[in-house]
Amino acid sequence: MDYVEVRNSTDFANTGMRYCCYGTPTSPVHSATNDLLVLFRSFYRGGRGFQAKAKAINPSRNGQWSEWGDWTECSATCGGCGLKRRSRKCFNEINNTKINNDENGQNNNGNEDDELICLGVDTETQVCAREPCPGLCSKPISEEGECQGLLSLLKGIRCQKQKIIQEECHQTCCSGFVLNKQLGICVENNF
């Protein structure tokens, strides 16, 4: 299989991100250092090959992250269904430039030359409201009563009947979550 591997960390001995088939990156790939290693691997003869664009970044465009902002309110009240977010800004202390990123982390100031480069993400998301939701749970119960069928002919014999009732409980979790009974909260179902 053909692929392009990008090694952009401080240790080039580690395997980098691999892109194959039609899986091209949707946002720029930046290096954590002044170096970036790109490996092109093709097993297909007579193919179109690879195409990549590289651009050196002016050091004055190196940005720093601000502190994280406050978390937003949780979008749900129970069951592990909720999400909360917080964000931070990319800025440059030298020229006090700030950029505005859209929800994909892309510069939306309108001018590519204004773009500052900060490694990492500008938004974090976290699951919240992990307490189970109130709902109805099935509970099996046994009742003693008169026997049915042939056993009803025998006088004085009582039979056990299994019955399932619905009662209020706090064990309901959202799709993709299960109740961890030890912790008493909804956790991701990793199965």
Taking only the tens place, the pLDDT of each residue in 139-163 is 888 888 888 888 777 777 888 888 8
CA–CA separation, 116 vs 68, rounded Å? 18
59-128 is classed in which CATH architecture? Answer: Single Sheet (2.20)
Condensed to tens digits (0 to 9), the pLDDT of residues 129-143 reads 999 888 877 788 888
Condensed to tens digits (0 to 9), the pLDDT of residues 38-50 reads 888 776 666 566 6
What is residue 95's predicted lDDT score, i.e. its pLDDT?
58
* Mean of pLDDT over the chain: 78
> Model's pTM, two decimal places?
0.49
Condensed to tens digits (0 to 9), the pLDDT of residues 76-87 reads 998 888 999 999
CA–CA separation, 39 vs 43, rounded Å? 13
Confidence of residue 110 (pLDDT cuts 50, 70, 90): very low
Question: Secondary structure of the chain in the HEC alphabet?
Answer: CCEEEEECCCCCCCCCEEEECCCCCCCCCCCCCCCCEEEEECCCCCCCCCCCCCCCCCHHHECEECCCCCCCCCCCCCCCCEEEEEECCEEECCCCEECCECCCCCECCCCHHHCCECCCCCEEEEEECCCCEEEEEEEEEEEEEECCHHHHHCCCCEEEEEEEEEEEEEEECCCCEEEECCCCEEEECCC
All structural domains of the chain with their residue ranges:
1-56, 59-128, 133-172
